[in-house]
A and B are shown apart, each in its own frame.
Chain A
Amino acid sequence: MTVLEIVDILKHRFGADLVGSVVEGTHPHVVVRAEKLVSVCEFLRDDEKLRFDLLRCVSGVDWMGKNLIEVSYDLISIRFGHALAVKVILDRAKPQVETVSGIWQAANWHEREAFDLVGVQFVGHTDLVRILMPEDWVGHPLRKDYQDPVEYHGLKVKP
């Protein structure tokens, strides 16, 4: 199934909740409203014709200039072999989105990582703690305005 068809199905199903979509280029994706993410994802996974069963990646991007944080979920369907990305755009000051770890278990760690490095809050996540950085680290390193702490446990952070 081509991306166009998939987007059509989604448009048909969700209408205005689909904020935007890109079907051409190197990264075809749809943008959905943050509140609707879970239902869109559930639909994508369960629909007979779509069956996006594998969540490949969850990546957060910090657009400091636009004051936004973008989270993109890359999906692929092992059954049918087609791929699509779903994006949500969040407010940078309060980046909150519902978790999809109930839909794909793979999201569990990906979301923890996005929380750890970009600072996206995933509401409803069972275990939203830092995964890569130490628990007592300050700040989210992949934010564009991140400042290194001076010291960590008595060791200088900057060279």
Chain B
Amino acid sequence: MQTFERPKIEYTGISKTIAEIAVVVAKIAGPILRRLAWFVFFGVIIFGCAFVWAVGRFVNPLVPWIVRDIIVVAGGLGFVSLVAMVGIWGERKVSGHIQSRLGPMRTGGWHGWLQSLADGLKFVQKEDLIPASADQPLFRLAPYIALVPVICAYVVIPFGASWVFRDRDVSLLFVLAMLGIEVLGVILGGWASNSKWSLYGAMREACQLVSYEIPMGLSLLVPVMAVGSISLVQMGKAQSGGWFNWLMFQNPFLFFAFFTYYIASLASCKRAPFDLPEGESELVAGFHTEYSGFRFVMFFFAEYAAMFAVSAIATIVFLGGWNSPVGDATSGPLWFVAKGMFLVWVQMWIRWTLPRIRIDQVMHACVKYLLPFTMILFVGSSVWQLYGSQFIFYTRFILGGLGLVMVGLFLAGAGYGYVNRGRLVGRLARKHLPGA
């Protein structure tokens, strides 16, 4: 039987020494690293936090601002990449566990945490195909138009009260605007491919995104009205003090606005059940059918970065941003990232539960349900602004309680699953082995 053995290579001279040392190091470090994979994983996270802290502490006072900016940009890009990578890996893990399977397990040892890196590196090595009859320059341009604005959106997103790269008094709208440009990249990609599936994907995307921008904007008007500012930092600052101070619990219209915003943001991120532009079972891969290699990764990257961006806005605008739910002592970027990631997780949870909507129903849902609903929210909220301030105590009490009930239900469901973890899937249930 023919087998593939790695060809043995003879090393000589200095490289021999290096090779020997490398082998020794690998032999010693490998098992240790494998054992410590868990710690390494969290170590990286902790190190990242420390790094950011150090940046805030020591880099900020640096005089040549351009140097400081470049450091922050590197950090920002790193964060976005991290979000995208963790998002893609997390998506596979979450979907796996929802579906009674494990998801990536091998790449990198502990639960396949390096999977996204391997995917990325693989796609770098993929041949870069451009169909001959496609519109070549536009085909090349499209991924950038999709990716760059999403990254730009992070310019104004505050991670903490002073953890923001640039804050202007229009930052909320700025994020919306940036997310709006992404559509153009997708349309362009779909159109330039000259493939029919791509064209369908692009048209659907354009139709869907343009229309869902309206309920999104309208539901964001509600908190803007309540705070009196479009600046994300201002909005975050207005909610310190505890979970009952979060905007979501201030009045019933805000409470519902959170949900309408969240639904609209699902649509604008092309997440299920609104993932028609790339709906696999109808359009083969939607607008990126013809894209291969890293250009495809850029679309993907943009999607996950946008997912976190919209979740971040939801966090800041409705869920208190970086403020901790209990008191102000622990408020900080970690809370912000945790809440944002939780919302991203909910997006995944929804995606792996629901079927896909049909395009006419997408439009129907937007025009006939979401849009009138947000209109009512908007008008109602402005009336509330006039007359409702005396009920603030009750609303906080009731809505805050409602929020707690929802969290409680969530925990109950999770707990039910955990308690019955051996029984839920029947006799086939298995414990999993580490690292395999």
Touching chains A and B, CB distance < 8 Å = no
- A interface residues (Cβ-Cβ under 8 A, vs B): none
- B interface residues (Cβ-Cβ under 8 A, vs A): none
